[in-house]
Structure 1
Amino acid sequence: MRACGLVLCVLLLGGCSTTTDPSYYWQSVSGHLRMVGAARPVDDWVADGRTSEALRAKLRQAQQLRRFAVTELGLPDNNSYTRYADLQRRAAVWNVVAAPDDELKLKQWCFLALGCVGYRGYFDEAQARAFAEQVRHAEPDVEVGVYPVPAYSTLGWTNWMGGDPLLNTFLGYPEGELARLLFHELAHQVVYVRDDTVFNESFATAVERLGGARWQATASEAARAEYARFDERRQQFRALARATRERLQTAYALATRAERLAAKQRAMADFRQRYDALKAQWNGFPGYDPWASQANNALFAAQAAYDELVPGFEALFEREGRDFTRFYDAVRALARLPKDERRAALGSR
């Protein structure tokens, strides 16, 4: 599962969290600035004799995909993804998410300029896990998850600093997966709505899927075959996660807490059994193991943000004649509506 986070540097936001922990502001500021400082123009990397041929090829491929995003999908043409940084770590940030142990509802953390979001991001994994432990200790009836995020978007607000860079945390992805990630992150620069993580992430996921489908028409046969293998596993895992969420939602509608937790235990046991069966079908492919091993309400609720409104956005794309410019205009119009009206227009409760 790709989970593409939206973690903005507090300094650049000019805002503040509802919490008053200065260390969180500092790690946000310093972490983002270190990443920006490590980035160099792609052309410099390509021309550098110390750059490996493998990295040089991936950088060129990323530039081709970026041009495709601009010319074929109407995504922003700015400084984003024209620079590259090797962070010497496996993730750009680590997100902490939390939810009640008998409800699929993410705890919210709020920022002045960004609004409220269902996660809190850290540039250092140890800090993320330490904060997760604080949440567990303070709220025993809350489940917490920590997961790595390969990329995040600054919504185009940092183009004056060079924009969002390509990173070692995702540049090595297969071509189709890299395309989807770039399309997703650039989509966040098209539309962003305060206090509505589900709308924002579902829109970006819809763009990555629609853009990915269009990309396939131009990709090589080998790239399409590789993408098909990845996508089949992704769709199977997402189907299992959706089915489990639906079962958990039914469980959490029961009258008593004891009934809810007992039904939850059965749903989670079924999830683990069905995941093991999927993994055997995939000949042991372990890509979803880290997520599945800590699966809980927080992670299921976080994943739902990327899925819930996607069918509505895809239907809107069809109604707009499969034209990306018209589609983006229609999404911007939805973004101006009250939250309940946006959800109703997209066919969600």
Structure 2
Amino acid sequence: MKDIDVCRLEWMPYTGRMILTRNWFALLPVLLLCACSTVKFYTQAFSGQSEIWRKSRPNAEALADPSVAEHVKQRLKLIEELRAFAASDLHLPTKSFGKYCDLQRPYVVWVVYAAPEFSVEGKKWWYPLVGSLKYRGFFDEKDARQEADKLKAKGYDVFMGGVEAYSTLGYLADPVLNTFLHRSDADLAELIFHELTHAKVFVPGDTDFNEAFATANAEDGVRRWLRSKGDFKTLRAYEANLSKQREVVHLMLSTREKLKAVYAGSYPSVEEERKAKQRIFDDMLRKALADGPYVKLHIHHAARTWNNARINTVATYFTMVPGFERLLKEKGGDLEAFHREVHDMRKLNNEQRMKILGTPIPSHD
């Protein structure tokens, strides 16, 4: 489909977690009541997860196998180090990443995001046990494109992306995947800590809260890990990269706010509103060109795919991050106290959590 690109978003590496339950037999009554398309979705999800189970083996076995490439073994050794640090210093559960799975493809899933043409509020899909989430994940790119086509035909803005990382949010012991072993040490550490954070605290139905918490907690974890190794050179480079990422995020979040203002306005015709919307995105691209090569690379690339759905992927991961960073600072860097506070927020509703974190409560445009 011409209007949808599959691309790697280096500054936003964790999009699209396929949600699975502990016991698939418990889903049978639900599936019997679902439409055929829903049954098809869960069938492909189970098939994809089964492939991962089938191809996984303990890290120790992969490390002892002479046919496994040396660079893979080096990454597995690093991940074992990261798991140990996550358990001892970050107080994170480490059931996952004890096995290795080579899927022999660049992405584990393909994720579809959607939003109405004149709204920045993303479409949600409901899943058993975890509630509503702002994405739909598929193990087969063809299935993802079919879903994207259907949504686009209904008038939605759609964005589809290939995803390297995968998580069942602590329900299952997720393996290390070949799809993310190419990352730098710091980026790989952030990914591992991010996914393990989901197993620590997950709030059903609040994608933005979960992803922002995992992002803030993982970034802090990388800083602690690099300091523990005395690797201050890598730490400085990591901080510099985060600073550049924030430039991109700031431009995109400010663009999202401008879009909200457009959609709240009154226009003589749908065509006039479309033109106003396009002017906002064109302005974002012009600023990306002026703000330097890093921002240009990550925003101007695939310019034609920018729409409400794609801009929402950034809001999901970063809008609440400053609030979590502030909360951790208020706890004096005490991770156990920080995690308890976040865990207790599960009892609150979305707006109450946003108020505590100092995040503006969105108005529904």
| TM-score where L is the length of structure 2 | 0.86
RMSD: 2.3
Provide the residue aligned with 1:268 in structure 2: 281
1:118 aligns with 2:131: no
The residue identity in structure 2 corresponding to 1:74 is H
Q: 1:289 to 1:10 in 2, by over 3 A?
A: farther
Deviations 1:153-174 (A, max 9, x none): 212212xxxx111111112100
Are residues 1:208 and 2:218 paired?
yes
The reply to whether residue 93 of structure 1 matches residue 109 of structure 2 is yes
Matched pairs, number: 340
Which residue, 143, 164, 170 being the options, matches 1:150? Answer: 164
Are 2:255 and 1:239 equivalent residues in the alignment?
Answer: no
Equivalent runs, 1:160-199 vs 2, <5 Å: 163-199=173-209
Deviation at 1:283, TM superposition (A): 11
Structure 1 CA distance for aligned equivalents of residues 105 and 192 of structure 2? 20
Contact 1:108 1:117 in 2 (8 A): yes
SS at match of 1:189: helix
Counterpart residue type for residue 265 of structure 1: Q
The runs of 5 or more residues in structure 1 that have no matched partner are none
Instruction: Tell me, in whole angstroms, the C-alpha distance in 2 between the residues paired with 1:309 and 1:153.
Output: 21
Indicate conservation of the 8 Å contact 1:4/1:185, yes or no: no
Structure-2 change in CA distance of 1:221 and 1:317 (3 Å): closer
What amino acid is aligned across from residue 54 of structure 2 in structure 1? G
| Counterpart Cα distance in 2 of 1:300 and 1:307 | 11
For residue 282 of structure 1, report the CA deviation from its aligned partner: 3.9
Change (3 A) 1:24 1:334: same
Conservation of the 8 A alpha-carbon contact between 1:95 and 1:119: yes
Check the 8 A contact 1:202/1:307 in 2, yes or no. Answer: yes
**Residue 144 of structure 1: how far off its partner (Å):** 0.6
Q: Give the counterpart letter for 1:63 in structure 2.
A: E
How much does 1:258 deviate?
A: 5.2
Conserved in 2, the CA contact under 8 Å of 1:11 and 1:25? no
Structure 2: gaps (5+ residues)? 1-11
Question: C-alpha separation between the residues in 2 aligned to 1:221 and 1:292?
Answer: 36
CA separation of 1:10 and 1:28: change in aligned 2, threshold 3 A: farther
Distance 1:292 1:316, change over 3 A: farther
Query: How does 1:257-336 map onto structure 2 within 5 Å?
Result: 257=270, 260-278=273-291, 281-282=293-294, 286=297, 292-336=303-347
Amino acid at match of 1:148: G
Q: Contact 2:94/2:196 (CA < 8 Å) preserved in 1?
A: no
Secondary structure, aligned partner of 1:146: strand
1:230 and 1:45 map into 2 onto residues whose CA distance is 32
Q: Is the 8 A contact 2:327 2:338 kept in 1?
A: yes
> What secondary structure does 2:228 align onto?
coil
Percent identical: 34
Deviation string, structure 1 residues 211-268 (Cα, Å, up to 9, x no partner): 1222231353553355356434322221221221122222222123555433321110
Q: Does 1:7 find its partner at 2:12?
A: no
1:25 aligned residue = 42
CA drift of 1:98 comes to 0.4
* Alignment CA distance shift 1:185-1:283 (3 Å): closer
User: Is the CA contact (8 Å cut-off) linking 2:15 and 2:313 kept in structure 1?
Assistant: no
The residue number in structure 2 matching 1:254 is 265
TM-score under structure 1 length normalisation: 0.90
Who is 2:8 aligned against?
Answer: none
